[in-house]
A and B are shown apart, each in its own frame.
Chain A
Amino acid sequence: MIELTDRQRTAANGEDGGGTALAMHIVTETARLLGAKRLIPVASAHIDGCLYHGDSGVQFAERLVAGGAEVAVPTTLNVGALNLLRPGQDRLDSHKRAMAHRLMAAYEAMGCRPSWTCAPYQTGHRPALGQDVAWGESNAVAFANSVLGARTNRYGDFLDIACAIAGLAPATGLHLPENRRATVRIETALLSDRLKASDAFYPVLGAWLGRTVGETVAVLDGLPSSLTEDRLKAVGAAAAAAGAVGLVHVAGVTPEAPTVDAALGHRRSEEAIRLTPDMLIAERDRLSTAGGDRIDAVALGSPHFSLSEFDGFERALGDRSVTVPTYICTARDTLASLGPRAMRLESQGVTMVVDTCVVVTPILAEIDGVLMTNSGKFAHYTPSNTGYAVLFGSLKDCVETAVAGHAIRDDALWR
């Protein structure tokens, strides 16, 4: 039985309004299901529930709004199903478009910040080390826990907004220090420094990790201490799509893993796995469902492209133009920061997608096509969500392919 404070009981009983009572009901019911004994305050929230999946989610959000619910903590919003800055970019029918709009409006009406990004941590929402937060969106959860050292479980749609309204979350899972300890150790000593220096390695590593460990907390050993946030984000996004990874430590890089021993809580690992080049090549191949030369679209930015990822893209593209439809998905805040660079990229043929992305809403041309991406997360979800077959490659492969109009992949790296 969960213990509520007097204040929490007052909110649950409806004295703060029906919306807050509904939120408290969802939080306490989840606490009961997970065996949590109490609720803890959260410092911020990130909401994944604003993406339209059907009318039921709109009814839920509008019931919260009608009940007077407002978020109690700073709260950012994940992607919706519409690019609000470019209406009509999607191919949704009029009913779905109207409902997707109502859903986004309902979450804004509850006081959430209209950030519309799956990488809120790269547009200013960065909770502190050790801070309890309630975040949805699987990649954002992995980043908040692993890279920032904040504490969140994988909050599903509806619980995320319920926690934001209540300002509370069940005290369980990754909120508790004892559950943040790594129990599996992943050795990378057999992999070449050249591979570890390449961007394409990290989504593949993440996908392998997720498929192998599920939701177990692992520590990765032997990666360069100079690992960028963009590479860590690629690991987490792929691991959270292929598995249920909410936290992964990187020895010498992430804040709770100054050493392997510290990440393991100074205990022996229950399992140690030594990665080989062949394991990585097999995983890379698993990310693709297409072969051959044909490419109909190139999509980048899952999670949303950061400013430094735009730098890398511009360096690779130079003065050339793309010849196949090329989409870069990013946050509206990042687009604003790009300034005139965005117009230049568009003049080179690149389509900018903000507030949403090409794998969560129909933007790609409606064909049985092949899509190339450098994202492990896009590679995972493209076939089921878009109907396109997918080919995974490095950023450089994607740029060269987009310019040439047929698939180009540099395999030398993996041999």
Chain B
Amino acid sequence: MAIAGQMLLPGQASGPVLRLEAPISFWGGVDPASGHIVDPRHPQHGASVAGTVLLVPATVGSSSSSSVLLELIAGGQAPAAIALGKTDAILCLGAVVAIAMGWTAPPVVALDAEKQRVFAPGSFVRLTADGVIHTTASAD
């Protein structure tokens, strides 16, 4: 199966799917050092975004979420790729600045929240440079 999104910040990546079941503010929601979801009111409290293909239906909250993503990138705990249901400048900025600093940032793709639902949580997917997300058999 393959679903096409619109590439916002180019790149290729693969990893297990983590689809956020509720909107999240990265600041106050994700630990910048470890990548774990630390908001006890979030349904996925305790899960880690590190290395995942993170599917984000919607973001909320703090304008510091860009700082948290930059810190995750700098510390090697960032998602492998990010798909946004709605183009969110705050989260993208963390990746934009990382690229400007010469660091390797996760690719970011725009993908409708409805289309994000076709990927089963934990299944392995690959994002190719054309913005298409493919399901893969395993962590190849």
Contact = CB atoms under 8 A, between A and B. Distances in A.
Interface stretch (B47-55, B71-79, B118-126, B130-138): B71-79
Given A33-B8, A138-B62, A241-B61, A54 B75 contact: yes
Contact of A156 (B33, B41, B65): B65
Contacts of B38: 384
A60 B100 CA distance: 9
A55 interface: yes
B59 interface: yes
Interface in B33-83: 33, 38-41, 58-68, 70-71, 73-75
B60 A156 contact: no
Interface residues of B, number: 41
Contact of B25 (A137, A241, A289, A383): A241
A141 B28 CA distance: 18
Contacts of B94: 156, 158
Nearest to A36: B89
Contacts of A153: 89
Contacts of B25: 241
A269 to B, nearest CB: 21
Given A60-B70, A214-B60, A381-B28, A157 B101 contact: no
B58 A244 contact: yes
A49 interface: yes
A53 B87 contact: no
Interface string B1-41: 00000001100000000000001010111001100001111
A34 B86 CA distance: 10
Nearest to A359: B28
A60 B23 CA distance: 28
A34 B32 CA distance: 25
A154 B63 contact: yes
A155 interface: yes
Contacts of A33: 8-9, 87, 89, 92, 96
Interface stretch (A8-16, A23-31, A398-406): A23-31
Interface in B70-116: 70-71, 73-75, 87, 89-94, 96-98, 100-101
Given A53-B71, A57-B71, A60-B97, A48 B40 contact: no
B64 to A, nearest CB: 5
Contacts of B74: 54-56, 59
Contacts of A214: 23, 58, 60
A156 B61 contact: no
Question: Of A35, A54, A56, which is in contact with the most chain B CB atoms at under 10 Å from its CB?
Answer: A56
A385 interface: yes
A241 B62 contact: yes
B114 to A, nearest CB: 16
B61 A157 contact: no
A289 B32 contact: no
Interface residues of A, number: 44
A210 interface: yes
A384 B27 CA distance: 10
Nearest to A170: B89
Contacts of A380: 28, 61
A376 to B, nearest CB: 12
A214 B23 CA distance: 9
Interface in A29-52: 29-30, 33-35, 48-49, 51
Contact of A136 (B28, B41, B63, B97): B63
Question: Of B39, B66, B97, which is in contact with the most chain A CB atoms at under 10 Å from its CB?
Answer: B97
Question: Of B9, B60, B62, which is in contact with the most chain A CB atoms at under 10 Å from its CB?
Answer: B62
Contact of B28 (A34, A49, A210, A384): A384
A22 B29 contact: no
A49 B64 CA distance: 7
B113 to A, nearest CB: 11
A137 B71 CA distance: 18
Contact of A157 (B28, B40, B66): B66
A4 B57 CA distance: 32
Nearest to A51: B64
Contact of B97 (A26, A51, A53, A241): A26
22 contacts: A22-B100, A26-B93, A26-B100, A30-B93, A33-B89, A33-B92, A53-B27, A53-B64, A53-B68, A57-B71, A156-B66, A156-B93, A156-B94, A157-B90, A158-B97, A159-B66, A241-B62, A289-B40, A380-B61, A383-B39, A384-B38, A384-B39
Interface of B: 8-9, 23, 25, 27-29, 32-33, 38-41, 58-68, 70-71, 73-75, 87, 89-94, 96-98, 100-101
Interface of A: 22, 25-26, 29-30, 33-35, 48-49, 51, 53-57, 59-60, 63, 136-138, 141, 153-160, 210, 214, 240-244, 289, 380-381, 383-385
Given A51-B64, A154-B90, A241-B25, 9 more contacts: A22-B100, A56-B71, A57-B71, A63-B101, A156-B89, A157-B70, A159-B89, A160-B63, A241-B61
